[in-house]
Amino acid sequence: MIERTIQTPEFTANSAVLLLAYGGPNQLEDIPEYLADIRGGRPTPKALVDDIVERYRLIGGRSPLLEITQNTAEKLQERIGLPVFVGMRHWPPRIQEAVSQMAVEGVDQFTAICMAPHYSDLSIGKYREQLKKVLEAAEKSISVDFISSWHLQPDYLEGVSTEINLALNRWPEEQREQVTVIFTAHSLPAHILDNGDPYDQQLRETSEALVNELDLPTSRWLFSYQSAAITGVPWLGPQIEEVVADMGKEGHKDLIIAPIGFIADHVEILYDIDIGVQKIAKEYGIRLERTAMLNDSDFLVAALSSLIEITKETTRGH
């Protein structure tokens, strides 16, 4: 789904691409300020700050997200021949900084792509709102094509299915038929479904497309959410911790987690799955493997390049 925020001309020599990502702390000392940004300036309880600091300490003391996104931008720029900028929602380089830099470099039109394939008003919609405000406040008029979702993009699907097969191949051939694949994505408050938000549906469409590609029988796959926050309201489920525990109780011994809602390594992957869920799996004697994230892989760069080509064709016909 490509949603045009501002009517756009055909691509010109002054066109560019903006990759949008969440952001993450560069060091442990950044975490209180990072959490304050996420929480809109509201105070963060010390216990929560301490918990998050410990999680980042266990994954190396920082988020790799910025470096991964910048590497992706460099590879994409080389492939498409257009300048590619990076803007983060909650940490430098911020979206406003990226737009300001584009203006300085003479960009008059760009394509914005969130580094998450599935749309929700509470996720991708927030990037769109922030970008719209930045553009409205900018001194120079710049038009944008905002790509809202790309959950069935063929290169993205091929990349994920390739990683699932690589994970399956870690088992001896005679044991692979007993391995269950669990697709996961970041949970969101359940009330989004009341307003017809497409997030859950798109995630299940991605899961089904991958299942068809991998030829997995119904008994060997399921979908689960992960990384729900404690906010006092229901979040989309089931949660991966409960799913793995239940499967352990039922006697399952071989699982693969494929985090289809994520593109890059971040705390939700490196801690929530690799440490948190892995601990539960070990308690039940489960062998748990995780698919590698696409990060800055050729599959992801090809997917992003294809999205930009589609945007070019759309604007030509406008």
Question: To the nearest whole percent, how much of the chain has pLDDT over 70?
Answer: 93
**Do 63 and 128 form a contact (C-beta atoms < 8 A)?**
no
Tell me the mean pLDDT in the region 279-283.
Answer: 98
Question: Given this model, what pLDDT does residue 283 score?
Answer: 98
**What is the CATH architecture assignment of 154-290?**
3-Layer(aba) Sandwich (3.40)
The C-alpha atoms of residue 112 and residue 114 are separated, in whole angstroms, by: 7
Write the pLDDT tens digit of every residue in 38-47. 999 899 999 9
pLDDT reading at 12 higher than 80:
no
| Residue ranges per structural domain of the chain | 2-151+297-316, 154-290
Average predicted confidence (pLDDT) for the chain: 93
pLDDT reading at 1 higher than 90:
no
Question: Given this model, what pLDDT does residue 316 score?
Answer: 44
**Do 289 and 167 form a contact (C-beta atoms < 8 A)?**
yes
Tell me the mean pLDDT in the region 266-282.
Answer: 98
Write the pLDDT tens digit of every residue in 256-265. 999 999 999 9
pLDDT reading at 7 higher than 50:
no
Domains 2-151+297-316 and 154-290 alike in fold: yes
CATH 3.40.50.1400 fits 2-151+297-316, yes or no: yes
The C-alpha atoms of residue 152 and residue 149 are separated, in whole angstroms, by: 9
Enter the pTM of the model. 0.93
The C-alpha atoms of residue 122 and residue 197 are separated, in whole angstroms, by: 9
**Do 41 and 90 form a contact (C-beta atoms < 8 A)?**
no
Question: Given this model, what pLDDT does residue 200 score?
Answer: 98
Residues facing 86 on adjacent strands: 19
Tell me the mean pLDDT in the region 162-188.
Answer: 97
- The phi-psi region of residue 266 (left if phi > 0; otherwise alpha if psi is between -120 and 50; otherwise beta) is beta
